[in-house]
Structure 1
Amino acid sequence: MSDHRRVYGSEPGEDPSPQPGRAYAELVGGPLDGLLVDVTGWDDADVAEGAALITEASSWGPGGRALYEPAPGGAPAYWVWAGDTP
């Protein structure tokens, strides 16, 4: 991946760009739209579940989580926003 997308959870001072040799899921919709989640080392079952990702931009405010799950049709490279949770 050689574009300007950012990886979710990058710390200040870290390179937020996707890195070669890593596996990513792209977040689609919701408060984290366009970010990438590093799923390197995740097993298939974990990738299939998606994730609840902490964000200040959820409808629950700081500390809330945005729920993302693989896109319908088995496209694990794209996770679609499924709502927010506290």
Structure 2
Amino acid sequence: MNADDEQLLHGQVYGHDHPHPGPLPHQRYAVLVGGPLDGPLLDITGWRPEETGDGAALMTGLGRWPGGQVLYDPLPDAPRPAAGPGVVCRFPYVGDTP
């Protein structure tokens, strides 16, 4: 991934095609921090608290294994990030899985 790829990820919502209008005010998001998906938002609207606490395994071709998943877990005690409307938590990168 190069600098242009990284710039495309910031402000985007994971799973939405580019260009996407970015976060919507009536949705809830986690910002992905670190790893190959550093910067995008993950739409967690409708997730129950226990689902949010489990984090996410996200498909990407940018991880250690092509076609694998990257793992992001929440930081429940972290302050709310200033990353835009609807952002309620951070999911830091914890690793990759095939």
Q: Please classify the TM superposition score into its range, dividing by the shorter chain length.
A: 0.7 to 0.9
In the aligned structure 2, how far is the partner of 1:57 from the partner of 1:5? 17
CA RMSD of aligned residues (A): 1.9
Q: Which has the higher strand share?
A: 1
TM-score with structure 2 length normalisation?
A: 0.74
Please give the TM-score of this superposition, normalised by the length of structure 1.
0.84
- With 22-31 and 69-78 compared, the bigger mean Cα shift is at 69-78
Higher relative contact order (CA 8 A, sep 6+): 2
Structure 1 match to 2:14: 8
* Unaligned 5+ runs, structure 1: none
Structure 1 segments of 4+ aligned residues over 4 angstroms from their partners: none
What SS is found at the alignment partner of 2:53? helix
Which residues of structure 2 form unaligned runs of 5+? 1-9, 80-87
The number of equivalent residue pairs is: 81
